[in-house]
Structure formats: structure tokens, C-alpha cells
Structure 1
Amino acid sequence: MGKSQKKRQMRRHNPVRVPDSHLPQGLQAASESSSKAGQILPILQKMESADASERKWACVAVSNIIQNDPSTRRLLQGKNVVGALITRLSDSEEEVVVEAMGALRNLCIDGGYDICAEMYNKNILTPLKTFIPKISTTLSQYLGSPKQSPESAKKTVYELAENVITTLWCLSETSNKALNAINDIQLVPFLMSFLGAKDSLPLATVISAAQCLYVLTDDNFPVTKEIRTDGEHLSCLLSLAKPEEGSNRKQKGVDNKFISLTVLAAGILRNISPIPPPSIASTVDLDRDIILPLLQPVISSISLQEVTSNVQELLQRQATEPAIENLSIKHTPKSDHKSDIEQQLDALEARLRTVQSSLEILTGACATLPDPEPDNSPDQDEDEEIDDDVAVEADVTDDVNMDAEESTTDTKSTPSFLQTLVLPLVSLIQPTELSFPPLSSPSPHPPTTSALSAVHISALECLNNIFLSLSVSPPESVSKDVQSGISVWNSVWSALQLVGTQTGSGQERRQEFWDVAVGVLWGIGNVWKGSLEPQEEQVRVLMQLCDSSSDERVRVRCVGTLECLAQYPTAIEQNKSIATYLLSLLPTATTASRAGTEPMIQAASALIDIYSDEGMPYDINFRQGDFVSALTASVEGVRKAIRSIDKRKEGGPELRKRGDLVRENLVDFIKYRRSLRF
């Protein structure tokens, strides 16, 4: 299977906090499952009231009743709350506008892509575009004369700016059409102005601007070009990503926000790299000098079990404390008003999101996709046993060994790398009680569950790319450190056992964990091929996943992992079981492969690799099982399957090329095995 074009998984922050795919569709179902259905009509009626205080109350009420409540959010959405709130963005009263913008922002965060698409289709960008110059002018006045500006007025503008920016960030991930429309607004100067004034603005507002830029610079050439060619922008980002020791670190809460800002600045720099001269940034080894020193401590400093315990304790306290205020016009709630417990829960989620962003950036540092350009080395080995599309394609450099502290020639450097980077990642893939709750018992705090599962999967993606890179040409110090390989292998399986195999609607994250984890297993298997003893239960699970998955890439990963396990020298019975299974994936002259073309190609390649050394103890299975006859019977079916590959589809030409090579190798392998005499 060929290289995928500029495509990165788990790079962008997912704005969806409350997964709701498991809920029944339709207004009737939403009405039946919402405990607040009776509040919907009064809210919508008051949103059209002649009284500004009632309109304000209605906008605030939307934010309050949707919090962690996807059923009520869906019910409101079905009653056109989006259209009503967008109308309020042109309200004559400023406070109504601010509260409507806050409600729309909260809908974006909690509702995700579908609701963002609705907002875009209902032309939310038109009023948002009018806000940007007004916010810029007002902020300039406040920054120019801070003592003459009332704190209440500044607070209102800061909140409005944060809500507008966050909404634009969410909208930019909705579709290419929305992204292009946002590109046309030319947001870079507006967003960079917040980063440049970070010492005079609330960190939360600055972070929202950094998060928006992080998303907008992800494979988005217009924005990337604008930043990389502006010296002031680059200097600002470098100063944020590599701050002076001790700056802005006055208290724990601020420290966490400060770390988040530095992480995002580093991510923006990585998104826009390579940076052309004459900028000073072009002389910086971004991964070695900024990314790794910054992110390694971030991912190593958090205990997911501790975070989970803290969340559970806060939820227990919350359940015993009375609500601070009721939803009434007389006592108008503030959209940003939260109890101390809610603020602590938000802070814990924010810390998890910072770790998630760090992992996404680190994944890119460990393995990146090159731009789709003509291959300069056409004679490169095309029968690579690791499929290029199993994970993000790897550009292998010495940086993978993280040898900043020790020379790569020192055999101790790689164990150090395993300890400083791989072990923290392995820790981050271990699920907690809140990570993957069963459908029958929904999460007591969906935002924490969403953040935890995102951290687990991002850590797996990073491990996937590390081992994909290492497996291309494992340093001797790595391949000889068998105990480390066994330890990491067992840790991944322990995590999979805790995640479980529950599938179905609402369990998509659980399935995604498995899909990515199998890629990690394949990478580990290749680095320590022949050293990992296959366990019967693990082999069975891999076969079941291969048979049940609808994703051909996952089936390829399963086949690749089984191939590695089959090469443990003394595992005669497991080798036989795996080989028999792989043979069952091959076609015949009259029947197609039940696994699909790509997994079939991988299975054929795997069998060649497994039995390429007739001196191995397990080769007795090949001879006694007459595997050569089974392979011979598959040649015509393999040829037909490869010829049917559509070269017009993405990856088609590369897959066809690899398939042809595997078919030729298969024919030669059969001739070779027939020539042997035992």
C-alpha cells in the first residue's frame, strides 16, 4: 500500500467534548431523553422578547442547560436555537450580543462538527467578520490607556474576543469550504496581536488565539505562508515557545495556562516549518532544541490516575452541595459563572487537553508526512514489510533516538530514550475508570472522559510513529534490548485488556483505541521480530479483529503483527496456526480473498518472509503442511486481484506497484522452495 497524501491523524484538537453518537436520532428521542424539555419553549420565546433583559437571560439560559447534556442540546438545535442566536448577534443591546456569542461558542464546543456546519450554513461568518475590527480597535485603546479603561468593560471585550476566536477555530475544522472562507478573513494579524500582547491580556484569551492559529496552520498554505514570511510573527512565536525561565510562573493555575500557551506556540512553529532564511528561526533545530525539551516534561509530569481520582472526588462533593442559583429572570445567571468545583473540573480538563496537544505535536516530531513530490530514489526497496499508510509516514532521522544528552554511538543512549519518551507514553495509554465507560453506564463527567480517551489515543499515535520509524532500521542497541520490547508489548496488551472489546454506537473511541494499538503492536513486532513469543490468546484476538474490522488498514496491521509473532523460532504450534490463517486470506483462481486486496497482499508477503529461511525450527510446518501447493494455487487469484486495483483512486498506483512486486516475489519464492531437497 502506497503513501497517503498529506494526511495526518490526531493532529487537530477535537472540539467535541460530549460524545453523543450513541443517542437516538430525532426530535422525539431528544425530547424523551432530555430532563429539561419543558424549559425549551420559554427560552426561545424570551429570545424574541422586546425586553433586553429577557433576551439576555434567554441567551445565558442556553449555555446553562446544554452543559454536558447532549439530549437537551439536540432538542434546542431542532428548534432552531442556532438561527435565533445568530440573529441576536446583531441585537441593539451589547450585553445580549455578548451572551449570544457565548452561547454559540458553547454550542460549538459541546456540539462539534454538525452544529458548526449548521452555523456556517446559516451565515454566522457575516456577523463574526464585523466583530473583528471592532475588537481590535477597542483592545488597542485599552492597551494604550489601561488606567482609563473600566475593568468591567475590558472584561466584556476579552470574553467576546475569546468567544469569537474559539468559534472561528471550531468552524475552521468543519469543512474545507468553511476553512477557505475563514482564510479570506485574513485572521493572522488579528490573532498574532493577542500573542504579542500576552503580558497585558488574560491568558485564557491569548490561549484561544494560539489554539486557533495552531489549527489554521495545520496543512493550510495561505496562513502558513503568511506567518513564515513575517519576521515579527516568527520572533513572537519563538519567544513564546522558548520563554525565559520563571516568566509568568507565579501560581499553579497560571502555570498550567502558561504551559499550554508555550505548547501551542511550539505546535504553530512546527506546522509552518521549514522556515526560510533569513529569519533567525530558520537556524533553529526545531525538534531538537524546542519541541522535545518542551514536550517531554509535559507528558511525563501528569498522572492520569491521579486526575481521575481528583475528578471523582470533586463529583462526589458536587453531588452533596446545593446548586448555587436557579435559572430565573430575577436572578440572571452569568454565562461564565461557575462554582469552585466546576472551575476545578475545568482546570483538570484543560491540563489533559494540554497533554493531548503536546502528544499531537510530538507525533509529528517523531514521524512526518513529506509533501507529495516525485520520489528521488525510485530504486528504494518497495517491498518494505511495514505498510506506509499504517500510520503517519516516517522520515527516519537520528532525532528519533532523542540523543540530545548522549551520543548515538553510546549503547546507553537508546535505553535512555526508551525511558525518557517511550515509558511516559506507555503510561499515558493505560485507561482509567473514566476513560471508556460502557454504554450501559454513561460517564459521570463526559468532558473528562472525552479528554482522557483523546490523550490515550494521541499517545498511541505517537508510539505508533516512533516504532514505525525505528522498525525501518532498528539501531543495534534497540534490537538487542529484548526485555524493553517485551515490556512495551505487554503494556500495550494490558491497556487493550482494560479497554475491552465492547463495540457499537457510542463506543467509537474504544474501537479507535484498538485500531491504533494494533499499529503500535506491529511496529514493536518489527523492531523485535523473532524475540516476542506469541501467546495463544493474543493470536486469537488479532485474528478475530482482522476478521471483524471493516477497515482494510486495520486488517493489514493485524496481518503484519501476526507475521512478526510467527517468526519466534521455537513457537511451532503458533507458527502453524498463524500460517494456516494467512493462507486462508489468499485467493484462488476462482475465489477472491475474503480479507480484501491490501490485506491479501500483506498476507502473501508475510508468508514469504516467515518461510524465507528454511533452517528455522518452525519451517517443518511449511513442509508437512505442503504450503507450497497452497501458495501455487493462489498465484492466479493474486494476479487477478492486483490487476483489478483502480489506479485512479488515491494510493492506487502505489498499491498496484507493490502488489506486482509481491506477486513476482511469490512466484520466485515458490520456485525456490520447490528446488529445495530435504
Structure 2
Amino acid sequence: MGKSQKKRSMRRHNPMRVPDSHLPKGLNAASSSSSKTEAILPILQKMESLDASERKWACVAVSNLIQNDPSTRRLLQGKNVVGALITRLTDSEEEVVVEAAGALRNLCIDGGYDICGEMFNKNILAPLMTFPAKISGVLSQYLESPKSSPENARKLIYEFADSVITILWCLSETSHKALNAINQISLVPFLMSFLASRDKLPVSTVTSAAQCLYILTEDNPPAISQMRSNSAYAECLYSIIRSTPTMEEQKSEGLGMERAVTLRLLACGILRNAPPPSSTPSPVDDLEKEILLPLIEPVVASVSLAEASTAVQTLIERIASEPQIEKLSLKNTPKSDHKSTEEMELERIETKLRTVQLGLEMLTGICATLPEPEIPLEDESDEDDDDMEDAGDDDMEADDTIPGVKPNPSSPSFLPSLVQPLLALIQPTPLSFPPFTGPSPHPPTTSVISAIHICALECLNNIFLSLASSPNPVLSGDKEGGARVWDEVWKALAAVGLETGPGQERRREMWEIGVGVLWGIAIIWRGSLVPQENHVKLLMQLSDVTSDQTVRVRCIGALECLAQHPESIDANRVISTYLLSMLPIDANPSAAGIEPTIQAASALIDIYSDEGMPYDVNFRQEGYIDRLAQSVEGFRKTIKGIDRKKEGGKELRLRGEEVRDNLVAFIKYRRQLRL
């Protein structure tokens, strides 16, 4: 099954906060789908105006136009708005530079990887690299003499710093090339200075600095080395963890307190990414056990997605019913930070949901690093054991766990307590996915809620894998509890539905991760879950239509466990017939793919390893032994063709050879029974 882990090449669960994959490609399509086409040309013209007020207006107008509007964003992108805004980062007027940075920040957040990649390719780092030193110099003066600096001047530099930091944070997630370039800036001291002065700075700016640090220290040796080189950094982070208000204290508060919780989580995450050297005094022995988990658990349990969805729907209806003030009037230059009460509440809800998402991502990482023994690698040899018929009965082992997982007595006891709140977070809401007819009524909320669903499923995947690796008679003996968990996951997947299309990528992702969760549950409660006809059909259907071999293996694994319900003889026959169809015939390879073929063979051995089971009648009456024997030669050739030099090839070859030997021994054993 494999544990879910964040990869740098695809870290964020919200690569596009306001997705546009539902839109047809091309500039003409963007023009026809945008209601603001006529406003584009004047904005781009004023971006190059000799009048600084017009250039500033144009930058602010971009931010206003793209708000929750993917078609207009795509149209502006097609007109090279990114290049125009990057040019304005070197403008002679400070306010123009600040507004250009703000517009680029919003494009990064709403547009995701594509726009970030475009910014990097258009050399945005050239002007950006000059800003940290300038920001540090100005902020130092303001912090030393706060009364001597005007409030609007301080506000301007805070906003600018936030924008620059957020752009760098987003760029660092775009590609290894961008990350390597950002590493040359040595951002750690700059970012840590915000955390050290957090009591004198806006929490939003400090949180952005922490978020950037959290991303930079994930599997990134240069940043990790910088963090570990200064003991004061760890002390600062521990201070944040201790001093930030608790969940109980922030329950009735607003956006600032939501960000405070996020900041505390991020401080934990940074310490986890870049733990201080062992020689550095630490206030805790186990960061995850003593601080991170106690913080994450209430965060994860603190939100009802259904209530959040309802609240957002009410707010957007209220906004839609209010008269809209023309935002693009040059006479009254709009303020980029002006928000109505409803917009502020939408931002607060999104911030809270993003905090839950962050907590889930950290929890996924914690569960992914729990002990998980691997298959021992034996002496490698290019010689295959072609004389498989000599394999003895003792060589046959039923594969009754996920491949590579052996009983593990050290699996943490906190895992079962997390299951129920996570199950609540995978249940879809009316805003979880865009409608099939167009974009979501509020894309940012849809983006974060669907991301929470995915994160929660990944946590469940890792939890059930860990629990399956440590058989617990008390847990597996709770058959009613197992059935409830099984039904809850199916309930969520049924609500997602099988229909897909442009803009519905998250629905497919829910199924791809969800079947892994189902497999883990089925292993723990193997033999007690009654296979439902619709469940069996759906698993087979997904296995047939997916092009991802890992997803197909997960489907086979779940079907294997369902086939072992003793009294479900008809379901056993349906599943086994399906698995047999995935095996090779004579010397011909199977069309199912190498890994699914191996898993199907292993599953059949496991299902019929006990001839005393009621469903074994299918094996005898349907002549499965002959079909298995017919597959041996093709199976041998399939395994021999695995390239050990490819990534994962060595492990796959070893697993295939083990199943091959088990298959031959199993056939010999069943024939000797003469049943």
C-alpha cells in the first residue's frame, strides 16, 4: 500500500487556490469566459504610464480583477501581466513596487505552480533578491524608534515584507531549480528576525515568515544547516510554542488568534524539520509526543467542515445581494487591503481551515515515519531459480499483510484515537468539489476543504498501515467498530461519486487514496467484513479503469480481504474469478501490469491457503488449480523481466520471486491434497 509522504516536487495540497482546469485552454477561451475582458487593455496600458498614480492603480486593479476569477487571471497571464508586474518591482516609486509585489503575491497564491514557474523563468528573483536587506534595514529603524515612523509607512513595509516572503515561499515549492536559487539568498536569518520580533510585528507577516521557513527546512540541507547553526533560533521557536495562546483561549477570537495557532504549529514543524544539535539544551525530550501531537489533535477536532461550508455559503449569498462599488475607478484608487465584514469572515474561516490542513499534513508526516519494517534484502543474484517445481511446502507463506509489513510491536497507541476525527474530515460538503457545470461558488473554500479531505485520507492510510503492521487482537476483535469505520469510508467515497472531468481532479484523488484506506481497514478486520456486491463491483471497476498500477494493487488488496469472509461464497467466487483473469496464460504476459499480477497471484494463494474454509468449495469446483498452473510459465517470465536497475526494481524483483516460489509450492500442496 505504501505510506503517504509529502514530496518536494508536489508538496502543497493547494497548488492552485482558485483552480482553472475546468476552463478550455487558449487565450480566446479565456477571453470568452471572462466578464472583464474590456478592463484588461486599460490596465496593461496604465501599467506602463508615465504617471506613478496610474501605474499604482494598474497593479491594484490586477489584484481586484483576479479575485476568485480564474478566467480573468488566465486572460491576464496570456497578456504577459506577470512580466509587466515584475518590471514594476524596479519602479522608481515605492508604492508602485509595493502594489506590484502584492499583485504578484496574489497571483502566486491563487494561480499555483504554473504562474510561479512563469515568474521564475522571467527572472523575478533578480529584483526579489535585493529586497530582504532593504526590508531589514527599514524595519530595524522602525522597531528601534517606533514613534518616529508614521503608521502608514510602517503598514506599507509590513505589507511589502509579507508579499515578498510569500512569493519566495511559493517559488520555493515550484521546482528544485527555483529552490536552489532561493537557497543562494540565505533567507534563514532574515525570516528568523521576524519571529524574534513577533511581539512588535503584525501576526500575518510573522506567520508568513514562519510558513516560508517551514517550507524551506523540509528536506533542504542548506536551510536546515543554517537553522541548526544558531542555538538562538531553536530557543525562539520553543518560546513561540510556549507563549502562543492555547486552543481554549482562542475559541471566541477572530483572525489574529487563528493565525496565532497556525504560528505555533509552524514553530513545531520547523523544529521537527531542523531539530537542534544534540548538544543544544532542549526543553522537551520528544517534540512530537510532548508538544506537536497534543497541539494537532485539538486543531484537527476543532472544525466542522459541514458548518464551515454552510457559513461560507451564507456569506457569499450576503455579498452577492449587496450593491457592488466600482473598484476600478481611477479617480478613487482602490485600497488593496480593503475588505468588507463578510470578506474578513471568509478570510478567518479559510485561515482556520488552512490551519487544520497544516495540522493534517504534519500528522501525515508523523505517521509516515512510524516504524515500518521492510522486506529483508537477500543476496542478489542474476540467476533465477528456474527449477521452481523443486520448491518445498515449507517455502510457501500466505501473504496475510500488506507487502513488506511484518508485525510491529512498537506501533504507537495514540493512533486509534485519531481515527474518528479524521473520518469526520473526509465526509464531503456542498463546497468540497466544484459543480460539474462550472467553477465553485467560492473557489478558495473548495480548495481548502478538498485539501483537508485528501490530507485526512492520507493520515488514515498511514494509520491503518501502521495498525496493520502490529496485529492487535483487541482492535481486530471489535468487529462492529471495524464495520463502522469501513462504512464511513465508503460513505465518503460514495458521496464523491465516480464521475470525473475537467476541474474534478480532487474527486479522482479521493478514490485513489481512499482505496488504500479501505485496504488497510480490510487487513485489520480481515474475515469479519461482509463483502457488499456494490463495493466489490466498484473496486473492480476502479481497478480496470485506472492507469496507476499502485491504485490497482490497492484495489486487489482490498478485494483479497473481502474474499476471505467465510460465509460469502458467491462474493468469493466473483472476486477470485476476477483475480484469476489478471494472471498470465501460458507464456503470455498479463495485461494487468507487473505489480498487479504479482499482487493477484499472492492474493489467490492467501485466500485459499486454508482448505477448510467454507468458500474453498469454489477453488475445487471451479478448477482454480489448473488455471493457476497455466499461469506459472508466464509469471516466471514476467518476474525475470523486471529490471533491478530501475528505481524500486530490486525490491519488486525480490517480491516477485518470493510470490513465484510460493505459487509453485502452493500448486504442489493443493494437488497433494487431492480434494
Alignment TM-score, normalising by the size of structure 1: 0.92
Q: Could you say what secondary structure the match of 2:430 adopts?
A: coil
Q: Distance in 2 between matches of 1:211 and 1:401?
A: 30
Q: Distance in 1 between matches of 2:38 and 2:377?
A: 67
1:69-98 Cα deviation digits (max 9, x unpaired): 111111111111111100000000000000
Q: Could you say what secondary structure the match of 1:75 adopts?
A: helix
- Confirm whether residue 97 of structure 1 aligns to residue 97 of structure 2: yes
- Equivalent residues of 1:324, 1:339 under 8 A apart: no
- Confirm whether residue 263 of structure 1 aligns to residue 260 of structure 2: no
- Equivalent residues of 1:367, 1:394 under 8 A apart: no
Residue in 1 that maps onto 2:413: 401
Aligned pairs for 1:660-675 (under 5 A) are 660-675=657-672
The alpha-carbon deviation at position 382 of structure 1 amounts to 12
Q: Distance in 1 between matches of 2:376 and 2:656?
A: 21
The alpha-carbon deviation at position 291 of structure 1 amounts to 1.5
The alpha-carbon deviation at position 616 of structure 1 amounts to 0.8
- Confirm whether residue 505 of structure 1 aligns to residue 502 of structure 2: yes
1:633-671 Cα deviation digits (max 9, x unpaired): 111111111112122221111111111111011111111
- Confirm whether residue 287 of structure 1 aligns to residue 288 of structure 2: yes
Q: Distance in 2 between matches of 1:374 and 1:617?
A: 33
Q: In the superposition, relative to structure 1, how do residues 496 and 19 fare at CA in structure 2: closer, same or farther (>3 Å)?
A: same
Q: Which amino acid aligns with 2:361?
A: E
| Further displaced range: 247-256 or 102-111 | 247-256
Q: In the superposition, relative to structure 1, how do residues 122 and 277 fare at CA in structure 2: closer, same or farther (>3 Å)?
A: same
Q: Which amino acid aligns with 1:259?
A: V
Residue in 1 that maps onto 2:479: 482
- Equivalent residues of 2:5, 2:365 under 8 A apart: no
Q: Which amino acid aligns with 2:529?
A: L
Residue in 2 that maps onto 1:583: 580
Q: Which amino acid aligns with 1:262?
A: R
1:585-620 Cα deviation digits (max 9, x unpaired): 111224321211111111111111111111111111
The alpha-carbon deviation at position 440 of structure 1 amounts to 1.2
Q: Could you say what secondary structure the match of 1:469 adopts?
A: helix
Q: Which amino acid aligns with 1:329?
A: L
Residue in 2 that maps onto 1:79: 79
The alpha-carbon deviation at position 152 of structure 1 amounts to 0.7
Residue in 2 that maps onto 1:212: 212
- Equivalent residues of 1:22, 1:506 under 8 A apart: yes
Q: Distance in 1 between matches of 2:278 and 2:595?
A: 43
| Further displaced range: 214-223 or 447-456 | 214-223
Q: Could you say what secondary structure the match of 2:243 adopts?
A: coil
Residue in 2 that maps onto 1:194: 194
1:362-401 Cα deviation digits (max 9, x unpaired): 1111222899x9998869x99674146xxxx999674631
| Further displaced range: 432-441 or 85-94 | 432-441
Q: Distance in 2 between matches of 1:178 and 1:31?
A: 31
The alpha-carbon deviation at position 55 of structure 1 amounts to 0.3
Alignment TM-score, normalising by the size of structure 2: 0.93
Aligned pairs for 1:521-532 (under 5 A) are 521-532=518-529
Q: Distance in 1 between matches of 2:142 and 2:483?
A: 59
Q: Distance in 2 between matches of 1:277 and 1:175?
A: 32
Residue in 2 that maps onto 1:405: none
Q: Distance in 2 between matches of 1:524 and 1:3?
A: 14
Aligned pairs for 1:602-621 (under 5 A) are 602-621=599-618
Q: Distance in 2 between matches of 1:83 and 1:9?
A: 25
Q: Distance in 1 between matches of 2:100 and 2:613?
A: 71
Residue in 2 that maps onto 1:38: 38
| Further displaced range: 322-331 or 451-460 | 322-331
Q: In the superposition, relative to structure 1, how do residues 376 and 228 fare at CA in structure 2: closer, same or farther (>3 Å)?
A: farther
Aligned pairs for 1:60-71 (under 5 A) are 60-71=60-71
- Equivalent residues of 1:27, 1:75 under 8 A apart: yes
Residue in 1 that maps onto 2:243: 243
Residue in 2 that maps onto 1:24: 24
- Confirm whether residue 456 of structure 1 aligns to residue 456 of structure 2: no
Out of 511, 518, 524, the residue aligned to residue 514 of structure 1 is 511
Q: In the superposition, relative to structure 1, how do residues 240 and 383 fare at CA in structure 2: closer, same or farther (>3 Å)?
A: farther
- Equivalent residues of 1:10, 1:360 under 8 A apart: no
1:218-264 Cα deviation digits (max 9, x unpaired): 22122122223431111222222343666995933322111111111
Q: Which amino acid aligns with 1:118?
A: E
The alpha-carbon deviation at position 110 of structure 1 amounts to 1.0
Residue in 2 that maps onto 1:409: none
Residue in 2 that maps onto 1:646: 643
Residue in 2 that maps onto 1:410: none
RMSD of Structure 2 on Structure 1 (CA): 2.4
Q: Distance in 2 between matches of 1:277 and 1:491?
A: 44
The alpha-carbon deviation at position 269 of structure 1 amounts to 2.0
Q: Distance in 1 between matches of 2:283 and 2:575?
A: 50
Q: Distance in 1 between matches of 2:5 and 2:333?
A: 52
Q: Which amino acid aligns with 2:272?
A: R
Q: Distance in 1 between matches of 2:398 and 2:17?
A: 42
Residue in 1 that maps onto 2:227: 227
Residue in 2 that maps onto 1:423: 420
1:403-451 Cα deviation digits (max 9, x unpaired): xxxxxxxxxxxxxx53x41100000000000102332143110110010
- Confirm whether residue 561 of structure 1 aligns to residue 558 of structure 2: yes
- Equivalent residues of 1:569, 1:616 under 8 A apart: yes
Q: Percent identity?
A: 63
- Equivalent residues of 1:467, 1:523 under 8 A apart: yes
The alpha-carbon deviation at position 197 of structure 1 amounts to 1.3
Q: In the superposition, relative to structure 1, how do residues 123 and 140 fare at CA in structure 2: closer, same or farther (>3 Å)?
A: same
Q: In the superposition, relative to structure 1, how do residues 99 and 369 fare at CA in structure 2: closer, same or farther (>3 Å)?
A: farther
| Further displaced range: 190-199 or 352-361 | 190-199
Paired residues in the alignment total: 656
Q: Which amino acid aligns with 2:469?
A: V
The alpha-carbon deviation at position 293 of structure 1 amounts to 0.4
- Equivalent residues of 2:255, 2:351 under 8 A apart: no
| Further displaced range: 7-16 or 277-286 | 7-16
Aligned pairs for 1:357-436 (under 5 A) are 357-368=358-369, 385-387=401-403, 398=410, 400-402=412-414, 418=416, 420-436=417-433
Residue in 2 that maps onto 1:493: 490
Out of 419, 435, 440, the residue aligned to residue 438 of structure 1 is 435
Q: In the superposition, relative to structure 1, how do residues 7 and 103 fare at CA in structure 2: closer, same or farther (>3 Å)?
A: closer
Residue in 2 that maps onto 1:676: 673
Q: Which amino acid aligns with 1:266?
A: C
- Equivalent residues of 1:352, 1:452 under 8 A apart: yes
1:72-129 Cα deviation digits (max 9, x unpaired): 1111111111111000000000000000000001111111111111100111001111
Residue in 2 that maps onto 1:252: 254
Q: Which amino acid aligns with 1:341?
A: E
- Equivalent residues of 2:4, 2:458 under 8 A apart: no
- Confirm whether residue 630 of structure 1 aligns to residue 641 of structure 2: no
Residue in 2 that maps onto 1:659: 656
Residue in 1 that maps onto 2:323: 322
Q: Which amino acid aligns with 1:486?
A: A
Q: Distance in 1 between matches of 2:336 and 2:376?
A: 56
Residue in 1 that maps onto 2:123: 123
- Equivalent residues of 2:368, 2:462 under 8 A apart: yes
Q: Distance in 2 between matches of 1:92 and 1:524?
A: 62
Q: Distance in 1 between matches of 2:571 and 2:206?
A: 56
Residue in 2 that maps onto 1:411: none
The alpha-carbon deviation at position 583 of structure 1 amounts to 0.4
Q: Distance in 2 between matches of 1:59 and 1:654?
A: 54
Out of 592, 595, 600, the residue aligned to residue 598 of structure 1 is 595
Q: Which amino acid aligns with 2:18?
A: V
- Equivalent residues of 2:22, 2:438 under 8 A apart: no
1:325-362 Cα deviation digits (max 9, x unpaired): 43111010011212221111111111111100000001
Q: Distance in 2 between matches of 1:296 and 1:335?
A: 36
